Amino acid sequence: MASTCIIILWDVTMITLIVFMNLKPVLVKGEQKVPCLFIMGDSTFDNGNNNNLLTAAKANYPPYGIDFPDGPTGRFTNGRNVADFIAELLGFDRYIEPFATVKGVEMFRGVSYASGAAGILDETAIHVGDRISLNRQLRNHNVTISHMSTLLGNKTLTMEYLSKCIYIVQIGNNDYINNYLLPQLYPSSHMYKPEQFATLLIQQYSEQLKTLYLHGARKIVVFGIGGIGCVPAELDLYGTEDTACVNSIDSAVQKFSDKLKPMIDDLNSDLPDANFIYINSTSIAVTVPSSVGITNLREPCCEISVTKGEGQCKRGGGACSDRTARFFWDGFHPSEAPNKVIAERAYTAFLSTDAYPFDISQLAQL
């Protein structure tokens, strides 16, 4: 017990030194580019926060994690997700812990709050069971900050530290998949035209990102959504045999995507010292397959559970062997191969449309 306390005190002292003297983080090996990485969003970034929730949105069973060193962890893919690759590219020697299990000084490296089925709107995906909406994730972040302030014994110092971290956020997929596109379960599509719904989402999202800023964040990466009309589960639900994507879905989601870049501009001009950047997932996704030899864009790799439109892997079900050639792992989520490319191009833009106004590697240097 005594020795544990000493170790913790030592760690906090080192972190204090890093903040005060702007030293390269001495706690970590290699070239870590920023002291901390915080992750918010939905299943695309979740790494275990839903494991103990009462929900159908879980991925902590095989064959999820078939290519991940620790096996099934709650990641909604076969291997690493985009957030894992971003952590690697930023030089972290271990992945960022989920809020559900993070302890003590570990939270100074950052925390992942991402939760499968989470939305911008609190009611999104309520039919799936429990999930940690973006508003709840922000409240969890406040809990983390309170712990950090207690450990550092100084709120100002905590805020200074938090301003050096990178924050990555990807949310909005479920506000369509598990809300607007389910007219039999949610009133939103009866109440709002696509344009109005997109405006509503952007208004909320913008407030939520401002809250993140008020919690000390200054380097914030907003990942766009896209291609929902092309995911196998939606094609299955809409029964479009011949087309590659459901066009009506894509045109509704496009209304939201079109507003992200102006939202970033507004946040950057309204909030002093804020550096928000936007990652254009569409720009990246359209050229991913050919760059890494992904030849199958339509069929999920894992055996899908029978519930129509659910799209999750069947518990203990099979998985394809040509995993690196498949874009989709299950009915909704990309496999590790595209995740790697998406992260690499978010980190170092390949096309000028990939990241706006600049990429994550440049954000890290600020």
Catalytic (active site) residue 330: yes
Residue in 46, 67, 84, 330 annotated catalytic: 330
d(CA 168, CA 276): 10
Catalytic (active site) residue 333: yes
Among 225, 123, 236, which residue's Cα sits nearest to residue 169?
225
Among 346, 351, 233, which residue's Cα sits nearest to residue 298?
233
Which of 282, 305, 348, 361 is in the footprint of ligand NAG by CB under 6 A? Answer: 282
At residue 26, the 3 state secondary structure works out as coil
Residue in 141, 283, 333, 359 annotated catalytic: 333
Centroid of chain to Cα 147: 23
End-to-end CA distance of the chain: 40
Nearer to ligand NAG, 73 or 133 (CB): 133
d(CA 323, CA 304): 15
- Compute the least distance from the CB of residue 306 to ligand NAG, in Å: 35
Distances (CA, A) of 165 to 46, 125, 222, 363: 19, 30, 14, 10
Taking CB under 6 A as the rule, does residue 154 contact ligand NAG? yes
Taking CB under 6 A as the rule, does residue 144 contact ligand NAG? no
- Compute the least distance from the CB of residue 25 to ligand NAG, in Å: 17
d(CA 37, CA 219): 10
Q: What are phi and psi of 308, to 5 degrees?
A: -65, 130
Count other C-beta atoms under 10 Å from residue 244's C-beta: 11
CB-closest chain residue to ligand NAG? 283
Q: What are phi and psi of 210, to 5 degrees?
A: -65, -40
Strands 275-279 and 355-356: antiparallel
Instruction: Enumerate the β-bridge partners of residue 220.
Output: 167, 276
- Compute the least distance from the CB of residue 227 to ligand NAG, in Å: 11
- Compute the least distance from the CB of residue 286 to ligand NAG, in Å: 6
- Compute the least distance from the CB of residue 282 to ligand NAG, in Å: 5
Residue in 42, 43, 46, 257 annotated catalytic: 43
d(CA 216, CA 210): 10
Taking CB under 6 A as the rule, does residue 160 contact ligand NAG? yes
Taking CB under 6 A as the rule, does residue 292 contact ligand NAG? no
Distances (CA, A) of 202 to 24, 30, 58, 109, 245: 37, 38, 27, 29, 24
Single out the segment in contact with ligand NAG by CB under 6 A; choices: 24-32, 59-67, 277-285, 298-306. Answer: 277-285
Which of 283, 312, 335, 339 is in the footprint of ligand NAG by CB under 6 A? Answer: 283
Which of 150, 291, 307, 353 is in the footprint of ligand NAG by CB under 6 A? Answer: 353
Taking CB under 6 A as the criterion, which residues in 205-224 touch ligand NAG?
214-215
Taking CB under 6 A as the rule, does residue 250 contact ligand NAG? no
Handedness of CA 35, 39, 44, 47 (dihedral sign): positive
Single out the segment in contact with ligand NAG by CB under 6 A; choices: 59-67, 90-98, 152-160, 326-334. Answer: 152-160
- Compute the least distance from the CB of residue 157 to ligand NAG, in Å: 4
Chain positions contacting ligand NAG, by CB under 6 A:
142, 146, 154, 156-157, 160, 214-215, 261, 280, 282-283, 353, 356
**Which residues are known catalytic residues?**
43, 330, 333
